[in-house]
A and B are shown apart, each in its own frame.
Chain A
Amino acid sequence: MKDKFELNSNAILLRKKLGEDIFSPIDVFGLIRGMNNTTLVFYPMSEQISGMCVRINESDRLIAINSNSTYGRQRFTAAHELYHLNFQPNFKNVVCSKDLEGPKEVEEKNADAFASYFLAPYDALKLFVKETLRKDNGSISINDIVRIEQHFGMSRQATLYRLLNDRYIDPEKVDEYKTNVIQSARKLGFDEKLYYPSPENEQYMTMGAYIVMVEKLKENGIISNGKYKQLLIEAYRADIAYNLKAGEPIYD
């Protein structure tokens, strides 16, 4: 496995490449949607799989996220897949496991550690713990864990995985932090979105380059209206094909 300094450095490099600094929380889905030739798919999968990514050709990429995972875990998966696409050569199509703790292939471990540093770079977490929480390693409480995961937008599993690996928390205490997850956030007045899967009407969704390509082919008369609709429906975008959600425009 690559050492954590290299993976943190890779995470910071990618952040910079995407125009992000090294301390702020990031909108990982917004970044992916803005990446050239990258398509983002949300699809409900079993509890075994976190997501997958496909290197389609020399220019096009696809990232798929298990929309049955919590929003916090979906963000972690997106960052995990960015590792495969940006730092792992020689693969075409990889399906990733949801388990963060079990035995894994080296590149999967690298991708997990990268994802953690991409969402919360080493120095960003260190500064947050020291300056915002005013804590030292070893004195982190459940309330601090909630504030860390809410600040950086990570699931409880991903947060504990990181805090444990960077020795912020005692391994013996991890199990007690795995329970009452939503309740612990609710009691501190936080939004609960991080801890729930995608709403039912957003479980199947395609965004990014795919939609741009379909529209371009249609606008230039390369594909028929029937093919246009077929491509959109196969990507779960009947709303665009049939203008279903248009409603009244809101300009504010």
Chain B
Amino acid sequence: MFGTWFYHKRVRMAVSVFGSLFNNLYVLRQNSAGETISQVKVPLSYAPARSFIQRLEEMRDGEEQERRVAMKLPRMSFEITSMQYDPTRQLPKSNNFSSSVANDSTKKNIFYSAVPYDITFDVNIYAKSQDDALQLVEQILPYFNPQYTISVKPFYEDHPEIKEDVPIVLQSVDFSDDYEGSVGDRRTIIYTLSFAMKISFYGPNDTSNVIREVNNNLYILSGDSDREDFQYRMQLTPTPSNVGLDSDYGFNYSYLDSAL
């Protein structure tokens, strides 16, 4: 029924955009003199992955290194946990906006109203110590009150001029610290921050002609009768004639077929 193939990669882009928010966080460790003795940029990855891909990546250092340690910490990962329709942001379905078509000033692209969705992301912070984890948490929380808005280019490849504000709302902060239990058990400290990213899904965009000529036939009522007497036709065209959709231009007025 729908039939028209299109793929704007909105979720894929949302994942990358979300990842770019947290790809530059550091953990610093000080010695007793207050000097930094280690500063670590925290590795970040999208959690759901093919297991063999990860195993292959970890084999790249060779056989000897593969099983030397259990894991390198701290680390961060994130994943999509849900997608929900957001009716509060829905615009009238007939709304649209247009954009120019490259190398063709007679055409324009039409984008119809998008469908708003909230994508929920969980960011997980895995650290070996509370202080490491808290450094990361504290580098994130102040920016969300509770939302932080970024501008993205939803149609980067074809229409980079189109920008869209995307609010990201911090919804909750949870953590687990399983320090209790047998002495022989491993302790894990994991903070989980839940965010909602408000994005929009666009359908296939359409192409239509740009109106480049307007003709108005002007009449005048004849006396007190109902008869309309044709006076002239006014033709409106842009100048210069080859302007595009986003150009600055003026108009030419021509009066044609005058009956006077």
Chain B associates with chain A: no
